[in-house]
Structure 1
Amino acid sequence: MLKTRLLVIASALLLGACSQHVVLRVDFPEPIVSQLAQPVIVYIAPELRRYVHRYEPEQGTDWTIVFGDSQEKLFRSVFNGMFEQVELVFDAEAIPEDATVFTPVMRDFQFSTPGMSKTDYYEVWVKYSLRLSRGSGKPLLDWPFTAYGREEDGGGRSAAGAMREASRRAMRDAAAAIVLNFLRQPAAKKYFAETTTADSGRNSP
């Protein structure tokens, strides 16, 4: 009987060791850049707020990576730094037809562990696209970009902790990509030049 109980306990421990659960709890500092006065809406779709990545190989470790509210925090921080007036919206029906709207979309999430890559790093790649539109209309720009983060194995950090840190760094890389590159896209540059000029004209005495 004792032997059977020990086998059951050992099996449970083995199964636990073959599964990793990561919950991202991340805060992002607002970027310090010149802000545009144009009011904007950032639409956070339900699938972005609820994104969970599951990796279940036939052999090896299962991974579950839960993004939670980290996506919302990321884009709130980014756009609060870039624009003077920002409103986050979670219901597409609540978007005014004449609003300037950003819609971030998470296209793909991939990761690698030291065991997979035979390196000393946990690595994360996140593929996003960022849409710019007027109201709920057709996007004026759908800009794809990929963010990357990595964390070295060891240092007393658990596998889940290392994956969490690599994911955090990838999301900070995403923030930097948006701040540095989005408004340089010709369609975005043209749109904000035109809307800023139009708003200035309406506000002139």
Structure 2
Amino acid sequence: MGGGVVYVSRPLFGALPSTTPHYQTAVGFGVDLRWDLLSFLRVHPYFLHVVHDVPIPGGALTTGADNSISAGTKFPETSAATFSFGVRVEPVWWLNERLRAWLSAGVGWGRLRIPVQVAVDPAVGELFLPDRAFSFVEFPLGIGAGFDIIKRWLAVNYDLAVVPVTGQSGVAIEPFQAMDDSGQVRDIGPLEPFDVYFAHSLNLALIL
């Protein structure tokens, strides 16, 4: 079992950062458990937590409806807290008594949450935006390597994973409404869901 740092990128392919809310690359943490089923095969339950800054450019969440927020609406700096957990299966190749490499494939479930925001629309004043979230199913595919710092007791591990995502659902990626200072309901556009993310992880693990 072990834990360490994770460097995660969640690109939005085809979207321009100047016009679309996007998830900035961030460092988080991960917890890993690895159980040997055979000398060459193990299961790997995992947990991942990362907080991404999410810049929202002016005009990015307008909808075109008559009651839409205006293009000049300013959103405060915000972040998206994400977590995911799941299990991977890993065939392992021992290169020597201390060094090993592996492939991995698995399935997991995750969630992204945007906290409460107060935006300012120059046409109507402040808008209260409740917290919103969406969930997703992920299929991590990766490669990795590990080295026993202390033989059969303490290891350092590195993993690189490409993680396709599907089944995104939730209010954060759907149009929603907020009330302005005058009590009128305003339409607000959704965030863009990501379809894949990339994760580099480096951790220390006790070998039990």
TM-score, with length taken from structure 2: 0.38
Greater per-residue strand proportion: 2
TM-score, with length taken from structure 1: 0.39
Greater per-residue helix proportion: 1
